[in-house]
Every structure is written in C-alpha cells, then in structure tokens.
C-alpha cells in the first residue's frame, strides 16, 4: 500500500479586499512615525513650484520651514519659469462693528482624515494677516499682477479722506506701504488698464485733480486732464466705474463719461451701459462687464452695446444682489454670497463660493457653466462681503 499523502497546511494571506479602512493622510509626523530626513531647499522649491497654490495654506501648516519657503521670492521665480502661475482669489470681509477689514484667500480644504486613494475635495477661505488699520469698504481696490492695491478711502472712525496706499503682496501674503496719491480721496474709484491704475473721485469733475494715474513700474502718480465743463458729471458723484477696451467708464447720477487712456481724451459714455449696472454685484472679465441683478446674470461689451442674459447658467440658488460679489478669476467668474444658518437661529451664516466658466459662442451669446459651488466659511450674521478679486501668482 502506498503511504498516505500528507496534507500541507495552507497559510492564508490577509485579503486586501477585506481591509476596508485606509490609513488617513497625515500632514506631518505622528508620535508613532519617524519624520523623513530633511530635503534641500532647492529640491523642495522645485516640488512646491509644481503644486497648485490652492494647497499652500494647508502645506504651510506642516512646518515653519515650509511656511517660509512658500513666502520666498525664489519659489515664484521657479513657478514663473515653469509656467505654473495661476489666478488666486482674495476676499475682504467686514465683521461689524469692527472697522478693520479681514482678508482671506481661497484654498483647498485641509482634511487630515481623507483616505490616500481619494483625491482631496472641497474649498475653504484661509485667513491672512491683518492689514493696516484702515477700512477697505469705501477704498479703491484693484489688482496688478501679484499685488492688490488698497487705495485711499476713509481712515478708521475719523472718516477722513486719505491719499495713502497699502499693498498686499499675494506671494508672501504680507502688507507694505505704497506711494501715496497726489490727492486725498474719500470714496475713490480705481480701475486698471494696460497695467496702470486710474483713480477718480472726491472733487469737482472739472478740477485738475479729479483723476490721477499710477505707474507701477516707476511707482509714480500723475494727474490726468479733466473733462470739459459741459461734460462734467451731474452733482460730481460717481456711482460706479469700470475699465474696458482701453477706456475708463465713469457714471454719475444721470450721465456718464469715458476716458480713452490711449488717446488721452474724454468722451460721453454709452448710457445703455448704465441701465443695468449695479454698484456692488459686477465684475469685468476680458473686457466684458458682468452683473447680477433681479436674480439673473447679464453681460455687456462695447461691441454689442446692449445688456444680454448670460445663457446656460444652471445650479445656482437665488440670492439678494446686495449680498453677492463677483470677481474675474483667471478668465472665469467667481461669485460669493452669504446664506443664513437655520440651525443657529440665523445668528450665523455661511459664505458660499461658485466658479463659472464663460464661453463666447457669438457676438450675441455668452454661455456660463457652474464648475463648482461650495460653502467656504462660517461667519456671524453681521459679517459682510466687501470685496472679491483675484491676483496672478
């Protein structure tokens, strides 16, 4: 008889399928882990330069050395050489009754419990250092490259006009003083055309100091010739303004002016432009004015010279026009608004943000598509959205 065959013991390997839990993504070493050996700064700069700047606020929490690298000029030189510059959204909020504005930037929402196999999702507003003690509600705010200029406006509670200029360097997220204007202005209107800043307001429109222009390359201000007396604004009050197609368009109580920056001359503005214009809820994207009014988005350019409804837009809730802020976000349109929180008895509210891609299909049609919309910050009910604008970094 043949000897019986001995059965071999089978060692079962752990099944990966049964292990449903995935280790969380941890920003920085845990007590049980060993930190990675430090890498040379030039290698870290090369790696960080390839990452989207949306992740920088989260990555800066890992260590102080990381935070200093994100503020270094070398990082942005590397990003520029690699063609990795991008548009970054900045938001100015007022927390009444505090007169000092607070600034935030849009970033990817940090999530320490997110599985490694899943892509990070979600956006949030990250708080920036407190700017100089000066209200930004009535000041002129514009962007040139990676700098945001906070121009003029009332100073603190004294409510006095100012010629001061403060600049937010969006690469390092730090503030510095800029060259003061030639004229103190209480409620200035600022616009950027061809890389130069045009500021108007606070004096008679026939006065020689009614408008001035700033040259960022030379950091100098220069007065601009005023319009003829017969073209002056009624009551000299500016209600709104915008720069499109090389012209600064300014509207007052019942008439409008346009300054051709390339020809150096004034002309009457198209009053059709002013018919749908709302002071707060508007922005300019690629020489097209977009407004939110009467629960719909409209657009205007100097070619059509009529207000048209933005077509194809779906997925946004209705919200009051005075709570919304629009911004040019790298050729797209960012929209921010507030909504009360029912669970808190409407003591708090949530600030929402949406990004809309814009497509021009003909001279008569522009279509919009909501790429995403999400809550980005919880604030007290008294908080208001003063400004939203983007910088290129």
Confidence at residue 344, expressed as pLDDT on a 0 to 100 scale? 81
For every one of its 393 residues, what pLDDT tens digit does the chain have, with 9 covering 90 and above? 444 444 444 444 444 343 333 333 233 333 444 444 466 778 888 888 898 889 888 888 777 888 888 888 888 888 888 888 999 999 999 998 887 889 999 999 866 554 444 444 699 999 987 765 555 556 789 999 999 999 987 766 667 788 999 999 999 888 999 999 999 988 899 999 999 999 998 766 667 888 999 999 999 999 999 888 777 776 667 888 999 999 999 988 778 899 999 999 999 888 888 888 766 789 999 999 999 988 899 999 988 899 999 999 998 998 887 889 999 999 999 999 999 998 888 889 999 999 999 999 998 999 999 999 999 999 999 999 999 999 999
Query: For residue 65, what pLDDT is reported?
Result: 80
What domains can you pick out in the chain, each with its CATH number?
Answer: 45-81 (no CATH), 87-392 (2.120.10.80)
- Answer for the pair 149, 143: CB distance below 8 angstroms, yes or no: yes
Pick from 56, 82, 89: nearest CA to 70: 56
Is the four-CA dihedral 197, 201, 202, 208 of positive or negative sign? positive
Check: CB of residue 310 under 8 Å from CB of residue 299: yes
Q: Are 117 and 111 in contact (CB under 8 A)?
A: no
Give the span between the Cα atoms of 110 and 119, in whole angstroms. Answer: 12
Q: Kindly write down the DSSP assignment for every residue of 197-235, as one continuous string.
A: EEEE-SS-TTSTTSEEEEETTTTEEEEEPPPPGGGPPGG
pTM of the full predicted structure? 0.83
Put the strands of the sheet holding 165-169 in their side by side order. Answer: 140-144, 147-151, 165-169, 174-178
Q: How far apart are the first and last CA of the chain?
A: 85
What confidence score (pLDDT) does residue 167 get? Answer: 93
- Interatomic CA distance for residues 251 and 241, integer angstroms: 6
For residue 264, give the nearest of 216, 227, 229, 214 by alpha carbon.
227
- Residue 69 has what pLDDT? 84
* Whole-number Å distance between alpha carbons of 184 and 179: 13
């Amino acid at each position: 008889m043949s000897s019986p065959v001995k059965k071999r013991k089978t060692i079962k390997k752990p099944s990966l399928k049964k292990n449903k839990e995935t280790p969380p993504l941890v920003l920085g070493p845990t007590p049980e882990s060993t930190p990675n050996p430090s890498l040379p700064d030039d290698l870290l700069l090369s790696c960080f330069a390839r990452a989207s700047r949306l992740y920088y606020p989260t990555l800066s929490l890992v260590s102080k050395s990381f935070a200093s690298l994100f503020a270094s000029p070398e990082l942005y030189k590397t990003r520029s050489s690699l063609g990795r510059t991008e548009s970054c959204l900045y938001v100015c909020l007022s927390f009444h009754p505090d007169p000092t504005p607070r600034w935030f930037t849009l970033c990817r929402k940090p999530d320490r419990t997110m599985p490694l196999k899943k892509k990070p999702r979600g956006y949030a507003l990250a708080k920036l250092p407190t700017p100089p003690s000066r209200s930004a509600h009535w000041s002129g705010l514009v962007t040139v490259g990676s700098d945001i200029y906070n121009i003029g406006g009332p100073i603190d509670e004294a409510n006095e006009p100012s010629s001061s200029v403060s600049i937010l360097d969006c690469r390092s997220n730090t503030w510095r003083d800029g060259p003061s204007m030639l004229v103190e202005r209480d409620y200035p209107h600022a616009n950027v055309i061809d890389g130069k800043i045009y500021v108007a307001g606070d004096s008679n429109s026939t006065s020689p100091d009614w408008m001035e222009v700033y040259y960022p390359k030379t950091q100098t201000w220069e007065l601009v010739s005023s319009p003829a007396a017969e073209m002056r604004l009624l009551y000299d009050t500016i209600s709104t303004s915008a720069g499109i197609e090389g012209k600064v368009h300014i509207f007052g109580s019942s008439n409008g002016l346009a300054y051709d920056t390339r020809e150096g001359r004034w002309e009457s503005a198209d009053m059709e432009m002013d018919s749908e214009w709302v002071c707060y809820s508007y922005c300019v994207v690629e020489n097209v004015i977009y407004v939110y009014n009467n629960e719909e988005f409209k657009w205007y350019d100097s070619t059509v010279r009529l207000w048209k409804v933005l077509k194809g837009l779906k997925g946004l809730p209705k919200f009051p026009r005075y709570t919304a802020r629009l911004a040019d976000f790298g050729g797209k349109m960012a929209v921010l608004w507030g909504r009360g929180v029912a669970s808190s008895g409407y003591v708090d509210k949530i600030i929402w943000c949406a990004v809309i891609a814009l497509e021009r299909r003909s001279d008569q049609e522009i279509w919009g598509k909501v790429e995403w919309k999400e809550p980005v910050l919880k604030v007290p009910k008294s908080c208001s959205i003063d400004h939203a604008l983007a910088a290129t970094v």
